[in-house]
């Protein structure tokens, strides 16, 4: 992995408004996109404890060190220790697996989280934290430092109620609307007329909406149907603060070649 010691990575905390809302898959897909298409150095931190599953979705390796191991010893936490704790499923994508337990001294937590985030910012362009929905002091310490807090929810009554509760809780914790970037997942055409109402109820714009799609969990390069990815690419561009990089002119030929390969049952070189 190429680390830019001078760069200042940005931290994104993805929060679930309810269990199963899609936060882990979204974190993983965004991480892959930013690493593959934007060529950014991305760190995914699994903040769900215990039993987070982000590392499992990305790597077959068994992590020997977890987030909790690092947070328990902030005085020893340096770049080398962080590096040794990471799984690297792709050259530009690293994962710090979930803590198995989090019995930290309350006073240590903020200091430990700050140390971890400072180190991560020095080494990565983007730090995506899958936070699940545990509103504990450990998470609060992270949210205070995060550049953007991203509540993920779906257009159902219960989820909207919880999304509203979460937005209020964030506001009370001093996280203002300028740092909050809500993501509406599993949006279907029939939900479109509800959008204005949803924005009114939540008191915020819902610019980032992801459709319901069976390929949601499929690694992006393996799926043939790219139509559903627009929302994800738009969101990734917002996090990267630049549009998706376009291929150079010589890449046009490569894309045409790839398309031939996809449409034909055999690679083009084998056709008569």
Ligand X SMILES: Nc1ncnc2c1ncn2[C@@H]1O[C@H](COP(=O)(O)OP(=O)(O)OP(=O)(O)O)[C@@H](O)[C@H]1O
Give the binding range for ligand X (CB under 6 A) out of 60-68, 174-182, 208-216, 235-243. 208-216
What is the 8-class DSSP label of residue 13?
E
Q: Is 208 in the site for ligand X (CB under 6 A)?
A: no
Q: What is the DSSP string of 91-103?
A: TTEEEEPPPS---
Token readout for 152 is: 């993920």
Least Cβ distance, residue 161 to ligand X (angstroms): 17
Give how many residues touch Mg ion by CB under 5 A: 1
Answer whether 208's CB lies under 8 Å from 231's CB. Answer: yes
The entry of ligand X, Mg ion, none near residue 229 (CB within 5 to 8 angstroms by kind) is: none
- Residue 185 touching Mg ion (CB under 5 A): no
Q: Which stretch binds Mg ion (CB under 5 A): 19-27, 66-74, 87-95, 201-209?
A: 19-27
Task: Specify the 3-state DSSP secondary structure of 22.
Answer: coil
Rule CB under 5 A: choose which of 12, 13, 21, 24 binds Mg ion.
24
User: Considering only residues 210, 232, 235, 240, which one is a binding residue for ligand X as defined by CB under 6 A?
Assistant: 210
Q: Which of 31, 89, 132, 151 binds ligand X (CB under 6 A)?
A: 132
Identify which of residues 156 and 254 has a Cβ nearer to ligand X in the complex.
Answer: 156
DSSP state of 148: E
By beta-carbon proximity to ligand X, the closer residue of 217 and 237 is 217
Q: Contacts for 207-214 with beta carbons within 8 Å, 24 or more apart? A: 208/181, 208/182, 208/183, 208/184, 208/234, 208/235, 208/238, 209/183, 209/184, 209/185, 210/22, 210/26, 210/183, 210/184, 210/185, 210/186, 210/235, 211/186, 211/187, 212/186, 212/187, 212/188
Which residues would be at the binding site for ligand X (CB under 6 A)? 16, 19-25, 132, 185-186, 210, 212-213, 216-217
Which residues would be at the binding site for Mg ion (CB under 5 A)? 24
């Amino acid at each position: 992995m190429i680390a830019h010691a001078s760069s200042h990575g940005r931290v994104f905390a993805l929060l679930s408004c309810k269990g199963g809302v899609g936060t882990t898959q979204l974190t993983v897909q965004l991480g892959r996109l930013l690493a593959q298409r934007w060529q950014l150095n991305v760190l995914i931190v699994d903040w769900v404890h215990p039993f987070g599953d982000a590392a499992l979705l990305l790597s077959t390796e068994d992590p020997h060190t977890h987030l909790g191991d690092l947070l328990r010893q902030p005085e020893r936490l340096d770049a080398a220790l962080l590096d040794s704790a990471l799984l690297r499923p792709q050259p530009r994508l690293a994962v710090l697996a979930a803590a198995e337990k989090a019995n930290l001294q309350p006073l240590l937590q903020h200091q430990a989280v700050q140390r971890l985030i400072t180190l991560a910012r020095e080494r990565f362009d983007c730090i995506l934290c899958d936070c699940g929905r545990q509103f504990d002091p450990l998470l609060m310490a992270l949210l205070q430092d995060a550049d953007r807090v991203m509540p993920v929810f779906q257009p159902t009554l219960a989820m909207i109620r919880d999304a509203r509760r979460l937005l209020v809780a964030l506001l009370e914790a001093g996280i203002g609307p300028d740092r909050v970037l809500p993501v509406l997942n599993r949006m279907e055409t029939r939900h479109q007329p509800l959008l204005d109402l949803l924005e009114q109820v939540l008191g915020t714009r819902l610019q980032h909406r992801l459709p319901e799609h069976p390929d949601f969990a499929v690694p992006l390069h393996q799926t043939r149907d790219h139509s559903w990815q627009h929302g994800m690419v738009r969101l990734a561009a917002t996090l990267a603060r630049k549009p998706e990089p376009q291929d150079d002119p010589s890449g046009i030929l490569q894309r045409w070649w790839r398309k031939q390969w996809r449409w034909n049952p055999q690679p083009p070189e084998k056709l008569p």
